[in-house]
Chains A and B, each alone.
Chain A
Amino acid sequence: MNLLEIENLKTYFFTEAGVVKAVDDVTLSVERGCTVGLVGESGSGKSVTAQSVLRIVPRPGKIIGGKILFNGEDLLLKKEEEMRKYRGKKISLIFQDPTSSLNPLFTIGSQLADIVIEHEKVKKEEALDRVIKALRIVKLPDPEHAIYQYPHQFSGGMKQRICIARALLLNPELLFADEPTTNLDVTIQAQIIALLKDLQRELGMTLVMITHDMGIVAEMCKYVVVLYAGNVMESGSIEEIFERPHPYTEALLKAVPRLDETRKLISIPGNIPNLIDPPSGCRFHPRCQYAIDLCKEKKPPLEDVGNSHFISCHRWRELQGGRS
């Protein structure tokens, strides 16, 4: 059994301007002990998917359909009280912006220890010991001293390490890392990637890596789910996705510059769609070079095309013949 199975999840935001279909019929699974990439551009629904699993979708957002099976149990059927036992403890989240997710008024030790005390009813000393251990795991220098310092006394990379430590405090089974390196310099990003890989390997953790960077996906993930405008375009093993990509993924890979070669960038025309009034049929059709009338009319189902590769495209099979 997979650790996490999301089936036909729909999470909408009921705004004044209209209904934003942020996550619209998303299906994906996460195998225990693996790193799964959740990729997409901004607004594709990555963060809202993670928020839905933790049931912390902010207003005016609402989960309006689907199932979220965690260890086989549907989280959407749990009472709010029961959910509290999952958040942080069984499922944890690292946010994109480490600066705003730490409280500037409290020392690192006190704000992290509070989390342990709240969930496990232990004494302050024991909680601080746990904090120091977690800080050691994320290789923060001199954790015994660091617990008495305030967030502003750390650099961006260090703050992100502290946030990772916080997410690990209660030994979660599943960790979502929401663009954990987006605001960091590349050399610091490399340190965080190395750290997350080590943690995953050493603790056998299940990690969902949310990112827009196909490089990070290629480096870290075993499986990948590609989102576009609230829909899953494809999901599958990293090898399948790079060798036989969906037209959207293919276009994205041709549009990003690479460090290891100079080449002509083939840009994707148009803009990211508005989710209040998303394109009909396949949501990528206005920008897809292979689009035909059918793509406009009918939404392609997410189909198993073999090798555990799932694709939502009317023309993918036919295109495989012509691809060099």
Chain B
Amino acid sequence: MPPLLEVRDLVKYFPVYSRGIFRKKIIGNVHAVDHISFTVNERETVGLVGESGCGKTTTGKLILYLEKPSSGQIFFEGKEIVQTFSKGSKEEQMKLRRSMQMVFQNPYASLDPRMTVYDIISEPFKIHKHVPSSEWKERVYKLLEMVGLEPYHAERYPHEFSGGQRQRICIARALAVEPKFIIADEPVSSLDVSIRAQILNLIMELQERLGMSYLYISHDLSSVRQISQRVIVMYLGEIVEHAPTEKLFDRPVHPYTKALMSAVPIPDPKRKMNIIVLPGEVPSPINPPPGCRFHPRCQYADSKCKEEKPVLSEVDIDHFVSCHYWHKFV
């Protein structure tokens, strides 16, 4: 079966301007997303993990065409998205918008405070006209039930809800268009520890019930492990490792993935960390290092790493690593 979503060689550069007063001059580019390719299959959750600024959110926005790609292609059910949004008919564009939804990190900022929950959840019906107005009420109640809220919540305003409940409202709104694909960008990061499991479990239950696919974006490796079938690790705009979840967590290969995992504290006093401390910090994405982008922080880097860019190689079935010396680390 062909994948539901295929991202091919996707690139997004943001120009950086000089601070001149009269004429703005482009002095460089932020390499936010730099030639990445991956797929998401039907009924699958793919995790996208990496540190702040590595390009996760930008990747999500490109797929939804909330940002225009600098180059590359994105296929959804075999149809190229960039073409559809730039040249396709209005109907085609609306159909595509209905198929894909995004749930954001901050449930406080993403709900209009002046709208009731009923208005928020039924708004997509107005836009997409896929549900006759006689059925709106019933649908809204059904959606509230699906995300674990009560019918009487419909008449309330966002400020009357806790963070976790607001995230449930955001999920209900995303589900209102019956999407096949949902991008969830850090959906639990702003929530309290005791509430996170509620939302993660909800996301997983909805998938079993409705069969949609997810791109789950997070900087938190532990929750990515919990929810994803496959995981992509990004560093400075590039994919450094990509594998089925169990393989990635049991046998990480890329030196960056290993360091990242070693840095996560485990809630068990018998298992002390064995941190691989990375020197320095993530370099600027404006002029990323040549060769392997990780080389300034990699303890195995040599002259080849400084000059030549490694490519993703399949080191095991479905397990891809971008490192010249992967065979040493398997």
Contacts and interface: CB of A to CB of B under 8 A. Distances in A.
Q: Which interface class (under 10, 10 to 19, 20 to 34, 35 or more) fits B?
A: 35 or more
A60 B51 CA distance: 38
A215 B164 contact: no
A219 B265 contact: yes
A262 B245 contact: yes
Interface stretch (B102-110, B150-158, B195-203): B195-203
A207 B60 CA distance: 41
B165 A190 contact: no
Contacts of A155: 281
Interface string A165-204: 0000000000000000000011111110110000000000
Contacts of B201: 265, 267
Interface string B253-283: 0000001111111111101110101100110
A260 B273 CA distance: 12
A193 B264 CA distance: 11
Contacts of B225: 257-259, 262
B58 to A, nearest CB: 17
Interface stretch (A8-16, A247-255, A290-298): A247-255
B249 A271 contact: no
Given A185-B51, A257-B200, A268-B197, A218 B222 contact: no
B52 A194 contact: no
B265 A216 contact: yes
Given A255-B194, A267-B201, A187 B259 contact: yes
B192 A42 contact: yes
A88 interface: no
A166 B164 CA distance: 36
A83 interface: no
Contacts of A262: 225-226, 245-246, 249
A216 to B, nearest CB: 5
A160 to B, nearest CB: 12
In the complex, the 9 A-B pairs of residues with the closest C-beta atoms, listed nearest first: A215-B265, A190-B263, A267-B197, A214-B267, A255-B197, A257-B222, A257-B226, A265-B197, A185-B51
Interface of B: 51-52, 162, 164-165, 192-198, 200-201, 219-223, 225-226, 245-246, 249, 259-269, 271-273, 275, 277-278, 281-282
Interface of A: 41-42, 155, 157-158, 185-191, 193-194, 212-219, 238-239, 242, 251-253, 255-260, 262-263, 265-269, 271-272, 287
